[in-house]
Amino acid sequence: MAKLILNRLSKAFEAGGRPAVNDVSLEVRDGGFLALLGPSGCGKTTVLRMIAGFEQPTDGSILLGDRVLADASDMVAPEHRNMAMVFQSYALWPHMSVADNVGYPLKVRGISGQKREQKIREALNAVRLEAYADRRPADLSGGQRQRVALARCLVTEPDVVLLDEPLANLDRHLRQEMEETFREFHARSGATMIYVTHDQAEAMALATDVAVMSEGRLLQVASPQEIYARPEGRLVGGLVGQGAILKWPAALLENRLLDWDMLQQSLSHTDGQDCADILVRPQDVEIAGEGMAATVTSVLFEGERYALKLALGDEQNLRAFSRQPVQVGDRVSIVIRSAWRL
**Residues binding Mg ion (CB under 5 A):** 45
| Residue 45 binds ligand ADP (CB under 6 A) | yes
| Residue 54 binds ligand ADP (CB under 6 A) | no
Binds 20: which of ligand ADP, Mg ion, none (CB < 5-8 Å by kind): ligand ADP
Sole binder of ligand ADP in the list 20, 161, 219, 292 (CB under 6 A)? 20
| Residue 268 binds ligand ADP (CB under 6 A) | no
The nearest distance, CB 149 to ligand ADP, in angstroms, is: 19
Q: How many residues of this chain interact with ligand ADP, rule: CB under 6 A?
A: 10
At 197, give phi and psi (nearest 5°).
Answer: -155, 155
DSSP one-letter code for 168? T
The nearest distance, CB 15 to ligand ADP, in angstroms, is: 12
Query: Which span sits near ligand ADP by CB under 6 A: 40-48, 117-125, 248-256, 257-265?
Result: 40-48
DSSP per-residue letters across 37-87: E--TTSSHHHHHHHHHTSS--SEEEEEETTEEEEESS-B--GGGS-EEEE-
Q: How far apart are CA 165 and CA 212, in angstroms?
A: 15
The nearest distance, CB 235 to ligand ADP, in angstroms, is: 14
| Residue 292 binds ligand ADP (CB under 6 A) | no
Binds 43: which of ligand ADP, Mg ion, none (CB < 5-8 Å by kind): ligand ADP
Angle between helices 142-154 and 98-108 (to 10 degrees): 20
Q: How far apart are CA 59 and CA 7, in angstroms?
A: 9
Sole binder of ligand ADP in the list 15, 40, 77, 303 (CB under 6 A)? 40
The nearest distance, CB 106 to ligand ADP, in angstroms, is: 30
| Residue 44 binds ligand ADP (CB under 6 A) | yes
Task: Please write down the long-range contacts of 256-261, taking CB distance under 8 Å and 24 or more positions apart.
Answer: 256/230, 256/340, 256/341, 257/230, 257/338, 257/340, 257/341, 258/338, 258/339, 258/340, 258/341, 259/337, 259/338, 260/335, 260/336, 260/337, 260/338
Binds 268: which of Mg ion, ligand ADP, none (CB < 5-8 Å by kind): none
Helix (H, G, I), strand (E, B) or coil at 320: strand
The nearest distance, CB 89 to ligand ADP, in angstroms, is: 15
The nearest distance, CB 322 to Mg ion, in angstroms, is: 38
> Measured between alpha carbons, how far is residue 36 from residues 40, 188, 335 in Å?
12, 21, 35
| Residue 211 binds ligand ADP (CB under 6 A) | no
Q: How far apart are CA 23 and CA 11, in angstroms?
A: 9
The nearest distance, CB 207 to Mg ion, in angstroms, is: 17
Specify the residue, 37 or 129, whose C-beta has the smaller distance to Mg ion: 37
Q: How far apart are CA 197 and CA 216, in angstroms?
A: 15
| Residue 73 binds ligand ADP (CB under 6 A) | no
| Residue 13 binds ligand ADP (CB under 6 A) | yes
Q: Which of 314, 291, 298, 194 is nearest to 242 (CA)?
A: 298
Residues forming contacts to ligand ADP in the complex (CB under 6 A) are 13, 20, 38, 40-46
